[in-house]
Amino acid sequence: MSVSKFLAILFSGALFGFGLALSTMISPEVVLGFLRFQDYGLMLVLGGAVCVTLLVYQLAPRILSRPLLDDNFAIRPSLLDRDTILGAAIFGLGWGICGVCPGPAIAALGTGNWDLLVALAGIAVGAYAQGWLKDANQ
Amino acid sequence: MQSLFPLGWGHYLEGGLLIGLGVSLLFVMTGWIGGMSSVFSSTWSFVSTRAFFQQARFVDTRAWRLVFAAGLVLGATVWWAWMGPIEHLQTGIPLWQLGAGGVLVGFGARLSNGCTSGHGICGLSSMQWPSLVAVLTFMATGALAANAVLFLGGH
């Protein structure tokens, strides 16, 4: 990885993390408030992020022949099968219990909210279990 | 407005736009799709020899995903130093909820191949309707669980 690429990725992530903190999505209480219909701010966060990203995802490959520091624009795999739905349902149950999703679990480390390390560890364990189970079922 | 957003709405929109800018900049510079849950699988490939974790889609992306994750921590730290409270942030959510919920979050997001950022931001912005189905599904079960926890005496 070149230095310019490293810095570009780090800066992109920093914008993401700053946005998560500014929008208070790193606070489980705020996320749970959304899921309990008390504060609809999360829709503004998701809506704002999608507006910008939708524009760039659609326009960038038409304007640029390739990314500035790499060869190809990736396309997100799109699949609707049992795992997609079942996984989303399980993810939602967990999200409603802890109020933490993967991005905020990572970003929260930067604010010294150490209790969220428990959620971060939980997510890592859950991700390992998913891979382990997939292997076992092959 | 007051009843929809009792804590105000400007910071939500500004934060959301910044998150979108981060995901967009990553795409313009590298062409990569910046969903966050994959890093929890790809990082296991450093220590686990299991065939699942040694797939190219994890091994080939594990380095930049970790750098991207480090950026998230850095960005949140900058916010904290610049605009945050003097004390470190705290949560009143009990540890059992954080731990148990976290395991389900990790398992479910990886099984579904996406979370709030992967399906929510990247999937919807790619105009993929499977991601829309996933988003509606996890918002429904999330609301169900969050209200059930409250009903059962949790936080």
Q: Name every chain A residue with its beta carbon within 8 A of the beta carbon of B133.
A: 80, 84-85, 88
pLDDT at residue A108, as a whole number: 96
Q: Name every chain B residue with its beta carbon within 8 A of the beta carbon of A23.
A: 11-12, 14-16, 18-19
pLDDT digits (tens, 9 = 90+) for B95-149: 999 999 999 999 999 999 999 999 999 999 999 999 999 999 999 999 999 999 9
Query: What is the arithmetic mean of pLDDT over A35-42?
Result: 97
Q: Which of A7, A16, A135 to mutate to test the interface with B (most CBs of B within 10 A)?
A: A16
Residue boundaries of the structural domains of chain B:
91-155
DSSP H helical ranges for A99-115: 102-107
pLDDT at residue B139, as a whole number: 98
Q: Which of A6, A22, A24, A26 to mutate to test the interface with B (most CBs of B within 10 A)?
A: A22
pLDDT at residue B149, as a whole number: 97
Cβ–Cβ gap B76/A108 under 8 Å:
yes
DSSP H helical ranges for chain A: 3-22, 28-35, 41-63, 82-98, 102-107, 116-136
CA A40 to chain CA centroid, Å, is: 19
Question: How far, in Å, CA of B140 to CA of A93, rounded?
Answer: 9
Q: Name every chain A residue with its beta carbon within 8 A of the beta carbon of B11.
A: 22-24, 41
Identify the band that residue A78 occupies on the pLDDT scale cut at 50, 70 and 90: confident
Least CA distance to A45: which residue of chain B?
B16
User: So what's the ipTM on this one?
Assistant: 0.97
